[in-house]
Amino acid sequence: MAARFQQLGWVADKPFAFHWGSDAWVKWATMALAFERLGVEEGASVLDVGCGSGWTTALLAEAGLAATGVDIAPAYLEMARARAERWEVDATFVEDDMESFALERSFDAALCYDALHHSTRPSLVVERIAAHLRPGGWVLFGEPSWLHEVSPDARRVQREYGWQERGVRVRRLKADCRAAGLGAFRRFFEGTRPYEGRLGPFAWQAVRLVAGNAHAAPQASVWLAARKG
Ligand SMILES: C[S@@+](CC[C@H](N)C(=O)[O-])C[C@H]1O[C@@H](n2cnc3c(N)ncnc32)[C@H](O)[C@@H]1O
């Protein structure tokens, strides 16, 4: 399994990689479409907060944006730089804490994908992102919903790797955005994977979809964009 993902260019020791597969392309399609609809144009500068192994940063760069990835983990940044080199794209990577970084420059747009929910102080992250946006600039958040907190997978990752695995509630995220001077909210939705090959994951997907339907919409990630006033 690990070898298969390595062949596909995935990071074999990334704890989140194995159950993703083609899901990543659904995520990327959602990001790309969202940025297009938000009017983020080729050549714009974009900050990728919690970029990890840099696949989103590299795809943003490949799409013609001037991409900068920030992450706290040096090992991930090493992978990100190697990926950018392998893909022959020009991206910059900075090691820093998303709760306190200060790059002394601003960006036309920002992405925070699958990272905010690891913070125990998300309002600080949102405030730092807002501080790095130019007026009128958009940030796009793509994070697991509150259901993530009860997901067996997330519980296992938290146990095995010691990561904080929280869910993101739209109301709370909007409140943090407003406090940081962000507004004009836009929601985006992605396709979901309703079926699984094995009984356990199928049961989990069924619970997730039923709960998701009851609460909001059956999407795996919450996609929220906010603009700096
Ligand atoms: C689930 S991974 C997602 C990474 C990347 N966005 C992706 O899609 O592959 C979460 C990332 O958040 C980063 N992270 C967690 N806490 C952080 C912090 N305080 N500051 C910066 N990055 C952080 C981790 O190092 C990790 O790379």
Q: Is 140 in the pocket of ligand 1 (CB under 6 A)?
A: no
Q: Which of 108, 129, 104, 127 is nearest to 50 (CA)?
A: 129
Instruction: Output the residue whose Cα is nearest ligand 1's atom 27.
Output: 52
Which of 18, 25, 30, 51, when mutated, tests ligand 1's pocket best, judged by the most ligand atoms within 8 Å of its CB?
51
What token pair was written down for 152?
A: 């067996």
For residue 53, the ligand 1 atom closest to its alpha carbon is: 9
For ligand 1, atom 13, the nearest C-alpha belongs to 50
pLDDT one digit per residue (tens) for the chain, 229 residues: 233 333 333 343 443 444 456 678 889 999 999 999 999 999 999 999 999 999 999 999 999 999 999 999 999 999 999 999 999 999 999 999 999 999 999 999 999 999 999 999 999 999 999 999 999 999 999 999 887 887 777 888 889 988 889 989 999 999 999 999 999 999 998 876 555 566 777 777 777 667 665 555 444 689 999 999 9
Predicted local confidence at residue 192, as pLDDT: 62
Query: pLDDT at position 14, please?
Result: 42
Amino acid 197: pLDDT? 62
- Per-residue pLDDT at 26: 83
Q: CA-based Rg of the chain, rounded to a whole angstrom?
A: 17
**For ligand 1, is residue 115 a contact (CB within 6 Å)?**
yes
- Ligand 1 near 16 CB (within 6 A): yes
Let me know: does 66 contact 107? Beta carbons within 8 Å.
no
CA–centroid distance, 69 to ligand 1, in Å, is 10
64: left (phi over 0), alpha (psi -120 to 50) or beta: left
pLDDT score recorded for residue 171: 96
